[in-house]
Structure 1
Amino acid sequence: MAGLVGEYECKLDAKGRFLFPAGLRKQLSPVANELFMMNKGFENCLTLYPMNEWEKVSGKLSKLNLFKPKNRMFYRLFHQGAKQLGLDSAGRVLVPADLMKRVGLTREVMLTAFNDRIEVWSKEEYLETMGENMADFADLADEVMGEIEGDND
């Protein structure tokens, strides 16, 4: 998989389901098998991993030395509330109520796909977060991309 990309607006129904976007579905590797793992993201969002990508992340985490307190805490926090999900027959994903509440999801959500994961945001929170950071985008690009060596493009 070259990496997931895109930004998609979705609406949650009364049961907390959203229709998984066709454009995003086409990008999934067949080995993902329409199964996902959802957990709390690093900001105020949820992260949806295609199952094949979750297995890669889990493999890395399994190498942590759990005798170190910081490693144990990170492992616990990363897995806290994680749930396995699948697409239903109509192509919808049911967001667990406890995870919805944790990040304040209501009716309008934004899905942002990048690399190996999909973030699920409250639309309002996403637009606010992106708006706050756009002013610093050029400086951030310099700081992050300026560190990549050997890039002759």
Structure 2
Amino acid sequence: MKGTSPAGGCLLAMSCEYRVLVEGKHSIGLNETRLGIIAPEWFRNLYVDIIGYRRAEIGTLFHPTEALEIGLVDELASDKANAIKKCKDYIESFKLIPSKGRQSTKMELRKRNSLWLKVNRAVDLNQFVTFFQLPEVQAGLKLYIETLKKK
């Protein structure tokens, strides 16, 4: 990842098997609580599984070194080309290993969150959309976007 990755960018990263973040002024995390909104439960569960309850509760964006220390990213890179190389090296490291056992293990580790999402997808989506459309939430997001435009 090159650049700041709040919310959706963080979710995309967490969905990947291996995460490499380019060092610098970038950050990653869920800052929903600081914006007055709530991430969907399946998203929060994954985040808590990776970084722990307390860090997730605070709603901070983490800079590269801290993101690495807490396990939100697996490695840091000096630039985009170096990040891509590190990811390719990671993928290459599994070429000689049979994938069935590794794949089954990953699916078992992710089963709880996957099952929850399958069972609760419609309710969760409805809750998120309803909350997101509240006038006070929209007003807060508008202020946040205006702040970003000034940077």
Q: TM-score, length-normalised on structure 2? A: 0.31
Q: Identify, as 1 or 2, the structure richer in strand.
A: 1
